[in-house]
Structures are given as C-alpha cells and as structure tokens.
Amino acid sequence: MNTEQIVLAKRPEGIPSDEIFKYETVEIDMPKKDEIQVEALYISVDPYMRGRMDDSDSYITPFQIDEPLSGHVVGKVIASEADGFDKGDIVTGQFPWQKLSNVPAKHVIKVSNTDVPLHLYLSVLGMPGQTAYHGLLKIGQPKEGETVVVSAASGAVGSVVGQIAKLKGAYVVGIAGGPEKTTYLTETLGFDASVNYKADDFSEQLAKAVPNGVDVYFENVGGLIADEVMKHLNQFARIPVCGAISGYNDTTIEHGPRIQPILIKSQALMKGFIVANYADDFANASKQLAQWVQEDKIKTKTSVMNGFEHIPEAFRNLFTGDNFGKQVVQVSDNI
Amino acid sequence: MNTEQIVLAKRPEGIPSDEIFKYETVEIDMPKKDEIQVEALYISVDPYMRGRMDDSDSYITPFQIDEPLSGHVVGKVIASEADGFDKGDIVTGQFPWQKLSNVPAKHVIKVSNTDVPLHLYLSVLGMPGQTAYHGLLKIGQPKEGETVVVSAASGAVGSVVGQIAKLKGAYVVGIAGGPEKTTYLTETLGFDASVNYKADDFSEQLAKAVPNGVDVYFENVGGLIADEVMKHLNQFARIPVCGAISGYNDTTIEHGPRIQPILIKSQALMKGFIVANYADDFANASKQLAQWVQEDKIKTKTSVMNGFEHIPEAFRNLFTGDNFGKQVVQVSDNI
C-alpha cells in the first residue's frame, strides 16, 4: 500500500519557502507486532518546529534532510498489532507528516473522550494546553489581583495562559496583532485588557493597560514586544519563557537590550522551559484542562486548514501572524 | 566642630571623573538623643553605587546633587546619646562619606567580634559576603559535583561565591582579569580552574575549563563575558544575577544577544536579586560566614587605599579592573 509524506528537502533560511518541502509517495507495510497503523485526521503545526528545521544544537534533535517532518497528530487506528488498541480508536502522538503511519504503540496515547472536537487534542487538550498550564502555574505562579501579561495571546498557548490566569484571579492583559484578535481577547475570552502590538502607539497603549505594573509576563514572542513589557516589571516579577517566535526565522542572532540590569532592577525571575519538563504532572493537568473546557471556562479557537498539501502554508501562517487561534490541518474526512 | 565630606557635584557620564566629587567642610553638632557620633575608620566603595549616581529609576534612591555620597562604613563611636552604645564601640552601617557623622542608633550595627581585621565587615562579614551567600545558595543552589562559574571572581562578592561553592562540593571556575588574579583563584582560594577574560583566546580557555558545561553561573559582570558563559549552560542551569558591572558606566543601553532562546534551549533560570531581599536570613548567614572565616575556610583579600581624599580614585578602580580584592579606603588611624 502507498501513502504520502512531506520530507524536508533542504534547510530553510528565514521563513520556510515551498522549496524546502518535498511531497513523496512511499510504500507502507502492515504494522508489525506492538505497532499500530494510524490514519492522520488532524496534523498540528507549531512554532517550535522551526527550530528543528535548522541544523543546530537545540533541546530536540533537528529534522533530517530527506526524512519526513513530524509533529503532533490526531489519528484513527486503521489496523492494530498491539494490545489495548483497536481499529477505530482515536489516538494522538508525535507522528510523521504522513497520511498513514505505522507507529510503536508505546508512543501513542488513546483518547478516551471523543465527545469534543478532536482537534482540541492538538491545542488545549494537547501540548499547547499543557505548556500554558505548567509554564503559568509552575513558573509564573500568579496570585489573586496580580497583573499577568501574555504575548501571542490569541494563539494556542497564549489564549489558555490568559484564561487560566483569569481563573486564578489575576488581572490579565493580552498582546496580539490587530483589532480582530484584541477584541476577541476581551469580548470572548474575558481578558481585562488587550493591546495591539501592530499599533503605532503600542508602547503607550501597553503602559495604559498595566497601571499596576507587571507581575507575570508569559513570554511567547521575545523581540521588541518583550522589550516594552520589561519596562513595567514589578519587584519579584516572574517570566516563564516559552517561546521567542519573533526571532525563529532570523538568520543571525537577534540582539536587544541586555537583560541583566532589568532583572536586577526588579529582582525578577526568568525561566526557560519546555513542556516535557513537566511530564510527571501531565495527567493532572489533562484532567483539569478537560474539566475547564467542559465547563466552558476555557474557550478555544482553532484555525482549520483543509488538505494534506496545505501543511506548509499553515506552518508559514504561524510566523506571518495570518492565523488566528490554534492552527491545524485536517488531512482526512474519515472522522 | 568641623568635619570633611564628599558630595556629588554633578551626575557622571561614563566612568566618574574627579569633577563629579566635591570636598566640603561642614559643621557637626554633638549627637542628639538616640544618636551616636561615629568616626569613620574604613569606607567601602562598591559597584552598585555607580547606579545611584544616575538620576534614574532604580531599586534604590539616587544620590542627590550637593548631598554627601554614602555607603557602608566601619567606624568607632566618639560620643553616644543612645542606649547600648558606648564610646569606643566599633560599629557598621550606611553612613555618609564623611569623617565624622551623627547617625540614628537604630541604623547602626555594633560589631561584637573585633579580633578580625575590621575592614572584613565591609567584605566577607558585611554586605558583599551576604550577597555571595544568599545569591549562591538561594538562587544558584549548587549541588555536589556540579560546575559553578563566577565572574569578577577575585572581587569582594565573587571570591566568597567561589569558596562557598567549593565548600558545597562543586567544581568551581573563576573568571578574572589577568594572570595575577587567575593564579590567586586557583593557588590561594582553591578554585578548580580560572580563566583570564583579557586573554585573546578567552572563549577557547573557558570552553576547556568547563568540560561538563555550566550548572550555576553567578553573574557579576554581564556583557561579552556573560555571552561566552551562556554558550555552555547545562539543562536546568541557574543564574543568580547580582551585577552587570560591564555596563554600569555606559551612557546608552547596552545591547547583546537576546536571552530568551538561550534560556529555552537550556531551560535555565535567571534571577536578579539585591542583598536586601534576604534580610530575614542575615543573622544566620553572618554566623556561618564568621565561622568559615575563623576556620580559614574562606580567605579574603582586601585592597586598602589610605586617605579620605582617595575615595574617588578607589571607586574608579572598581571599573578599570585595577583593584584586586575588596576595595576599601582607610580614613582614620584611630583603630
């Protein structure tokens, strides 16, 4: 049997262009013992993947040239040679960008609740939700009445960060690009204020939005947006550093004001993290996040693009600011 | 009665030149109730004072023009109108740069052990020692066998940081300027390795000195030295940010590689602090530091300049790298 995949043709410079992606048709056998065959339903595109496209020493191994790209996928079991998995089961895991894949069962998580839109397992009920939960609560530790600022606030991680912070009693300010997104943050998600980083008077708007300074800054973006937020840090501020998307496509190392004097002045804490650091607590977080979603205390927005061939375009949207909400690609109608 | 003082004549640009300091003779009364009159014996010059010379929003109030500069002083009680203080007592506190001062007794600490060189109360047994102790142990939290790197390692704070880290079983690497200082670190203080940041091959030397990467980087310096250390951070590294002396005299905001990607890659923690954050634990630390000094487990080096009129020169030495060890100025022979 044949299936389609997308491989990395060459390493990108700057924003990944079409030439770095190559579509290939490959043969796929039946699954071996302890493997299952999964048909991809939704494929996730996430900013961190850009780092894996470079041949650099990072916290995860780089994608290899001529090998398929991969990431989080929600799929359906087509055939199983593994205990505990049956045909028709819905599963998630880190799979190749491939319509059909044989994967070791030990790398697969079976989804028990299929009453929610399945693509939520790529956002609030998946890696981005876990990222928001642990980064905010373990590092940010917002207290009631404190001010929490989050960048990329309408995105998959940021939108959950802001809503959890609200549930914890914080005053929440979101930074996003354009009036549609900023309105969504205050009107739909219940943020206390939102600021459009594309506005000419972003700096003044931000200052007005944080009259009591900033106690927690959940960092998704870096760059000039971060520079502005840092001007408002309160004493003992906490900055979970989740991402720095503004620099992901830079071909040189981005420079900015040195951080040491800023951290001393506010006696602030800054900590980088990846979601895998909190694997011990995934189960707890999953339960809590699912409950909040079911109680409609956390709302989500997903931008679904249709068709396997559109994955590169969906991925690029993450960096141009053209997507709104969690970006996923639906690659099968077999739902 | 008259006494001499040094006031801030104008705000400095860059390294403070002689013109910013003005010597004045002022009249001093006898102390009032609950005050004591102190004759300064040793006056401390410390890098953080440079920040107070600017009219900027910092964690401590700026020095005022035409007002005396001030800082930590070890002095002798000349006259007392306060309970618990007698003529001849040795005291420390934050006093003006003045030969004689009347100070409220509540701002004064009486020194109980006068068997040690009294200027140690401006270094290991004073604010720099407390800074080293709390920054390293509370934020850095070195574990046995881990690698601790400290910059400005032969200085008042850095030398204590490195020696405490050794006492905790860490592998300790000091960064200092010039062979005399680096030799002192390994031969006298027992550091495992030391690196001369003025050497052309500093980057290569540092890489060789930290074969197992860096778990704790005690930051006193910032700038290009920090950039090199950051290249070697291990996963979950901790960076207590105590100072960034390389930029203190800059007239513009210093730029460098943005820190966010570095912190994510290593999932490192960076925290700014000032010693006052740990005031609750000063007494414990004092006791422990005094014990280590008495047991000769912590060695110190003090650079004593003689004469009240040399305070500005001693202060400038902090930024030119010309001092070696804790810089103090002896301003009286009445010891």
Inter-chain residue contact A260 with B219, CB threshold 8 Å = yes
Residues B62-78: tens digit of each pLDDT: 999 999 999 999 999 99
Distance CA B133, CA B113 (A): 20
Write out the residues of chain B at the interface with chain A, using a CB-CB cutoff of 8 A: 57-59, 219, 222-223, 226, 235, 241-244, 247, 253-274, 277
Rounded CA gap, A96 and A112, in Å?
A: 23
Å between B108 CA and nearest CA of chain A: 26
> Given an 8 Å threshold on Cβ–Cβ distance, is A265 in contact with B272?
yes
Amino acid B271 reads K
Q: Is the pLDDT of residue B113 over 90?
A: no
**Letter for the amino acid at B327?**
Q
Please give the residue of chain A at the shortest CA–CA distance from B224: A258
| Interface contact flag, A267 B274, Cβ < 8 Å | yes
Question: What was the ipTM of the complex prediction?
Answer: 0.89
B229-287 pLDDT, tens per residue?
999 999 999 999 998 887 777 777 889 999 999 999 999 999 999 999 999 999 899 99
Residues of chain A contacting residue B254, judged by C-beta atoms under 8 Å apart: 257-258, 261
Tens of pLDDT, residue by residue over A68-126, are 999 999 999 999 999 999 999 999 999 999 999 999 999 899 998 888 899 999 999 99
How big is the CA angle at A195 (ends A189 and A200), to the nearest 5 degrees?
Answer: 155
Count interface pairs A-B at CB distance under 8 A: 118
CA B108/CA B78 separation, integer angstroms: 14
At residue B57, the pLDDT reads 67
A-chain residues near B222 (CB < 8 A): 258, 260-261
| Rounded-to-integer distance, Cα B90 and Cα B112, Å | 8
Look at A255 and B260 and tell me if their CB atoms are within 8 Å. no
The token pair at A83 is 């205990």
pTM for this predicted structure: 0.90
Q: B54 with B11: CB under 8 angstroms?
A: yes
Most B-contacting residue of A58, A250, A264 (CB-CB within 10 A), to test interface: A264
Most B-contacting residue of A258, A262, A275 (CB-CB within 10 A), to test interface: A258
Residue of B nearest to A265 (CA): B59
Q: Three-state SS for B171? A: strand
Here the contacts of B84-91 (C-beta below 8 Å, separation 24 or greater) are B84/B110, B85/B36, B85/B110, B90/B41, B90/B114, B90/B118, B91/B36, B91/B38
pLDDT the model gives residue A335:
80
Instruction: Please give the mean pLDDT across all residues of chain A.
Output: 94
**Integer angstrom CA distances of residue B197 from A255, B175, B180, B248:** 22, 6, 12, 18
> Are residues A274 and B261, on separate chains, in Cβ contact within 8 Å?
no
B149 DSSP 8-state letter: E
A249 contacts in chain B (CB < 8 Å): none
Which positions in chain A touch B240 (Cβ < 8 Å)? none
pLDDT in tens, B171-217: 999 999 999 999 999 999 999 999 999 999 999 999 999 999 999 99
Over residues B207-226, the pLDDT tens digits come to 999 999 999 999 999 999 99
Q: Tell me which residue of A1, A43, A48, A45 sits closest to A26, measured CA to CA.
A: A1
Chain B hits for A243, CB-CB cut-off 8 Å, are: 260, 264
- What are the tens digits of pLDDT across the range B18-60? 999 999 999 999 999 999 999 999 999 998 899 899 987 666 7
Q: Which residues of A touch B266 (CB under 8 A)?
A: 59, 272
Asked if A256 and B258 come within 8 Å (Cβ–Cβ), the reply is yes
Tokens of A263: 């951290």
Over residues A180-227, the pLDDT tens digits come to 999 999 999 999 999 999 999 999 999 999 999 999 999 999 999 999
